[in-house]
A and B are shown apart, each in its own frame.
Chain A
């Protein structure tokens, strides 16, 4: 069953087109990475899914219209918005009490177990916590809610690498169980690669790439070619080309692995490589990419 289904989803703010008629279908039990540059429309897409903003077109989330049935939807959906939004006056125990009070599916023991692994004390106020600790607290609250859909919009923005790693490890180990759906929007691509089952690139209000991770690994190949083989490699119609340490890295969609192996070292491209290839080209800057 589809967790999220959109057809012709469109949203404009005055002259600016935030969502330019996107179609998408996210099955239940997937972990989708929504990746795009700043201003690509990721937050607008997520806000539509969460019923926080109006839109044109069709959108169904867990069988409901998020704009009209938001109150019902929020029993099954949880999210962390793109800015640190935990109220600064709140104490940790108050946050636990409150969420336990209003959410029937919050398991306090789980949140406390998670917090016990951190240095956060239950008497601390949010304003006394570091940025990383606030994110940990928010994650502890959200992960203890047995939601069917979890939406994370830049959850690790402004955190250092260690916290970011820890965040995604916790998410994967403690939360994801193949029945819940997770959508993570970010532009920090590297850390989430191993967490995802699906990846989607957005640019200028459109979805420019949509692929499962298995598909990605079987379809796309990168090959590092020494200068004397570049012309031959280019003949195989790469989708992207860049120079690195005197060699050219060419990216292919659906090419034959043996054919490429003759030209240089073949490897599976990272999401970051693909992102640069797809969004870089879409942005109409292939020259900068190949220079």
Chain B
């Protein structure tokens, strides 16, 4: 192996690459869950195609496009929601499970630094899951399109209207944009927080991740009768003060508001907070033993 791949060239990226591979070996739900949901959605779509596609094709052209696009949006939302739930539970277990089953002592017997390990685990929800979500969603949508076309052709109708009315490329671009901007960049501090909790607590990471946030909201309300913390969390979940991270489908072809998004201080504060959480998680992993 090393004869063909000089270790000097790969020494920086190899541990990261293998760490991510091992995460996928261990946590197969990362790709099985979205795939299963996609399969289920396809089955549902198959049933509804038989039932109602012809009705939609007879609608007046103005409504037709949005009506046709509806199930495609639903599928992408469903897969994305699944991926988000998988990401949350993955993060909560990522640094907790290895301490619980003491396999951390095996990982630590190999020359992979704690920072590399924590970063590889952070890359799963921030990069790997969005990519998987994108690929699975686009594949599912293409299959849906083919299914509809086949159904139309079988009944002797033209599928041309379907392909011209349905904004296939735009939907994919929207999805990619949303995944990169929201799941990859905007939600980074959320995943980093879950990883930190996972590294820090001895048991029930889910409660430790959620209850302190609720407690701060209650305390703030009682002590100062304000709800800045609630507003901050809400803005994080919903994509910023003016929803810069989320864009309406109609906006995508007019302008991608990247300048607005990139100058949003919330984005940069989020990065700093995420970096701090991940650094703290790496320190915790470094200095604390198994449970």
Contact = CB atoms under 8 A, between A and B. Distances in A.
Tell me whether A and B are bound partners: yes
Interface of A: 47, 52-54, 70-71, 74-75, 78-81, 83, 85-91, 94, 97-104, 108, 138, 142
Nearest to A75: B111
Contacts of B111: 71, 74-75, 102-104
A89 B26 contact: yes
Contacts of A90: 25-26
A86 B112 contact: no
A98 B18 contact: yes
Given A80-B109, A85-B106, A87-B103, A101 B21 contact: yes
A275 B104 CA distance: 33
Given A70-B286, A74-B111, A94-B22, A81 B15 contact: no
Contacts of A89: 25-26
Contacts of A94: 22, 25
A88 B101 contact: yes
A110 to B, nearest CB: 13
Interface string B104-118: 111011111110000
B101 A87 contact: yes
Contacts of B15: 101-102
Interface in B84-133: 98, 101-106, 108-114
B17 A101 contact: yes
Nearest to B16: A102
Contacts of B104: 85
B203 interface: no
B11, B109, B289 interface centre (most CB from chain A within 10 Å): B109
B1 to A, nearest CB: 6
A54 B287 CA distance: 8
A108 B1 contact: yes
A104 B287 contact: no
A81 B105 CA distance: 7
Contact of B102 (A81, A99, A102): A81
Contact of B110 (A54, A81, A83, A102): A102
16 contacts: A52-B105, A53-B289, A78-B109, A81-B102, A81-B109, A83-B102, A85-B105, A87-B103, A89-B26, A90-B26, A94-B22, A97-B18, A97-B21, A99-B110, A102-B19, A104-B11
Contact of A87 (B14, B106, B109): B106
Given A81-B109, A86-B106, A104-B7, 5 more contacts: A74-B111, A83-B102, A86-B103, A102-B18, A103-B110
Question: Chain B contact residues: over half helix, strand or loop, or mixed?
Answer: helix
Chain A to chain B: the 7 pairs with minimum beta-carbon distance, closest first: A101-B18, A81-B105, A87-B103, A104-B7, A85-B105, A71-B113, A85-B106
B112 A83 contact: no
Interface in B213-244: none
Contacts of A142: 109
Nearest to A83: B102
A80 B19 CA distance: 20
A78 B7 CA distance: 19
Contact of A52 (B2, B18, B21, B108): B108
Contacts of B106: 81, 85-87, 138
A64 B11 CA distance: 21
Contact of B21 (A80, A81, A85, A98): A98
B216 to A, nearest CB: 31
Nearest to B18: A101
Contacts of B25: 89-91, 94
Contacts of A99: 110
A283 B199 CA distance: 40
B17 A85 contact: no
Contacts of A79: 109
B22 A98 contact: yes
Nearest to B26: A89
Contacts of A47: 289
A78 B107 CA distance: 11
- Centre residue among B18, B110, B289 by max chain A CB count within 10 A: B110
